[in-house]
Amino acid sequence: MENLDTFKIIYTVMGGLGIFFYGMRMMSDALQQAASDVITNVINSLTSNRILAVVVGMIVTMIVQSSSVTTVMVVGFVNAGLMQLTQAIGVIFGSNIGTTITGWIISIKVGKYGLLLIGLGIFPALFSKNPKFQTAGKVFFGIGMVFMGLELMSGAFKPLRSNSEFLNMISYFSGDHYGAYFASILTGCLLTIIVQSSSAMLGITIALASSGVIGFNTAAALVLGENIGTTITAILASVGTTTNAKRAARAHAFFNIFGVVVVFSFLPFYINFIEWLIPGMADFVDASGDKPNIATHIAASHTFFNVTSTLLFLPFLGVLARFVTRITPDQENEGNHLIFVGEVSDTLPATAIVQASSEVKKMKDVLDRMFKATKGYLHNPDPSVLAKIQDYERITDNMQKEVTVFLCKVMERPMSEHQSKQSQSMIKIVDEFESIADYLDRIARYKSKYKNQVLPEEIKTQYFTYMDDVWDFVNLCSAGIYDGGNHHLELSYKKSEELRLLADDMRDQHLVKVSSGDYDPLSALTHSDMVVAVRKIRAHAMNVSTAVDLSHQADS
């Protein structure tokens, strides 16, 4: 009978935890979809102002309901070169405050509103045609699942409060001394590392405490340990990233560890302060054996710890940045690469799209430099310039691969139609940019192969003018990746047709000269191939314009 009861407790806790996890994920995904533009605008508002960085971290974490997700986002931004280390640390400070909202959500009397919210949410989530109602339904359904999962876990834990064997086993953790506090902190840290979710561990802690299995002293110490354990997600995500990304992840860990060490030094006074601050005794037991007040005390201790730690350490943000810089030395030959940071499940589509968009702009900058080098090589065929052109072509190949792989993984996450169109647009744009780079490289190779052939000045002048016109067209088609207001699809179509006809006219004129014996046939063939290559660039630029228009349709 004892084994049967133990098995029942285990599977009920596991089932409740699974429902809790599912509810948190559904709520987080729905909030991300609903607030994707808010997240993007908040991230774009980042400056070197440390207060603003803290606010950004707090807002994003309150939306996504996970400090780990926000910190992984920060590591990705630093890795892509979009965020400075001090900015990143400020956002991490804010994420620690933002994550405390989860505690307040689940501190509401567990199970009381679970089925009601599930009933309210399921019908719009499944049957509504309106995306806003669908999203709202998913949020309600997710919160209801969170409450229901907590109710199941609390119910499963209740038999443990009268089980002498279990109580003897955890008696050391329940002690009112520093040894018990340290053991509880260590346990909270290790369990959070295993579960990979501080929100889940916070839910388990509140369920254990509410059902009367553990006291407030133990719960408060467990929460401190959970604050340390949650940093492992970002540290794991930073493996293989740039030095600054590693520094950001380590700053998160050291900030939380330092904060816990400070509070640990006067933990009994801290616990008494929370007891004084929140109405009702935390360990008051009602007639049913539950502790109705303890959940709000735990949520308050979580919030007070993170807010206080942030306020205390904010003036020393620069000191923390220098410390993690010292313990994480620079690596040689390191550049920014758009690599997928962390797990797919820890990725915010809105922020991943910002990273990819930055890489698209960098790719356009490489193309501009490649065009200048190609044009210079046509004037003066220097082997070192040809090598640089070929290097640019390899860089664009790598960038196209990075963006495509990155966005394909991001698209595995639930995302809005708006985000899906943006992702598809960027994948198309980098593919077209890579093709443009291929043709610039081909033009240089034609010149390298037939560099001893001499064309009349009027033909060279005409060709260079056409190259400039086509590159102006490339810039016209690409302007929308910087500013949507500068994109005009109809103008692009009109200009594209003009350039196509001009290229045909150039080739026809040249063939007439060849047939009359004015030009060497081999030079005429080379010139024709070079004209065709520039005309192909025009065609790929037009495809860029179409892809940019797709992205702007998503914005409208």
Average pLDDT of the chain to the nearest whole number: 84
User: 138 in a domain, yes or no?
Assistant: yes
- Encode pLDDT of 241-261 as tens digits: 778 888 988 999 999 999 999
Q: In this structure, what token pair is assigned to residue 393? A: 């072509």
User: 334 in a domain, yes or no?
Assistant: no
- The answer to whether residues 536 and 500 belong to one domain is yes
User: 412 in a domain, yes or no?
Assistant: yes
- The answer to whether residues 390 and 514 belong to one domain is yes
User: 335 in a domain, yes or no?
Assistant: no
Task: Examine the fold and report which residue of 266, 298, 327 is the final residue of a domain before the chain moves on.
Answer: 327
User: 15 in a domain, yes or no?
Assistant: yes
Domain count, the chain: 2
What pLDDT was estimated at residue 515? 67
| 3-state DSSP assignment of residue 338 | coil
- The answer to whether residues 312 and 373 belong to one domain is no
- Encode pLDDT of 137-184 as tens digits: 998 999 899 888 888 888 888 888 777 777 777 777 777 888 989 999
User: 332 in a domain, yes or no?
Assistant: no
Domain hosting residue 527, numbered range: 347-555
Helices (H), 380-456: 383-410, 417-449
- The answer to whether residues 215 and 321 belong to one domain is yes
What pLDDT was estimated at residue 2? 46
- The answer to whether residues 53 and 198 belong to one domain is yes
pLDDT-derived band at 1 (thresholds 50, 70, 90) equals: very low
Q: Which of 396, 437, 433 is nearest to 548 (CA)?
A: 433
Low-confidence winner among 112-116, 121-125, 474-478, 521-525 (lowest mean pLDDT): 521-525
Query: Rounded to whole angstroms, how far apart are CA atoms 432 and 399?
Result: 12
Element (H, E) at 274: helix 267-277
- The answer to whether residues 113 and 164 belong to one domain is yes
- The answer to whether residues 167 and 234 belong to one domain is yes
Percent of the chain with pLDDT strictly greater than 90: 28
- The answer to whether residues 167 and 265 belong to one domain is yes
Query: Rounded to whole angstroms, how far apart are CA atoms 102 and 199?
Result: 7
Task: Examine the fold and report which residue of 327, 359, 384 is the final residue of a domain before the chain moves on.
Answer: 327
Rg (CA), the chain: 30
- The answer to whether residues 377 and 513 belong to one domain is yes
130 versus 369: the higher-pLDDT residue is 369
pLDDT over 90 (residue 394): yes
- Encode pLDDT of 314-328 as tens digits: 898 889 999 999 988
- The answer to whether residues 416 and 274 belong to one domain is no
User: 336 in a domain, yes or no?
Assistant: no
Query: Rounded to whole angstroms, how far apart are CA atoms 423 and 546?
Result: 14
User: 487 in a domain, yes or no?
Assistant: yes
pLDDT over 80 (residue 459): no
Q: In this structure, what token pair is assigned to residue 348? A: 């915010």
pLDDT over 60 (residue 556): no
Query: Rounded to whole angstroms, how far apart are CA atoms 216 and 489?
Result: 64
- The answer to whether residues 524 and 482 belong to one domain is yes
Query: Rounded to whole angstroms, how far apart are CA atoms 329 and 325?
Result: 6
Residue with tokens 């052109």: 389
- Encode pLDDT of 45-97 as tens digits: 766 677 888 888 898 888 887 787 788 888 888 877 778 888 888 998 998 89
20 touches 149 (CB < 8 A): yes
Query: Rounded to whole angstroms, how far apart are CA atoms 304 and 158?
Result: 28
- Encode pLDDT of 517-537 as tens digits: 666 666 667 777 888 899 999
**pTM across the whole model:** 0.78
What pLDDT was estimated at residue 239? 79
201 touches 99 (CB < 8 A): no
- DSSP character for 163? -
Element (H, E) at 515: helix 489-515
Distances (CA, A) of 378 to 313, 365, 374, 436, 504: 58, 20, 6, 17, 21
| 3-state DSSP assignment of residue 172 | coil
CATH number of the domain where residue 510 is located:
1.20.58.220
- The answer to whether residues 394 and 483 belong to one domain is yes
- DSSP character for 170? T
pLDDT over 50 (residue 376): yes
43 versus 377: the higher-pLDDT residue is 377
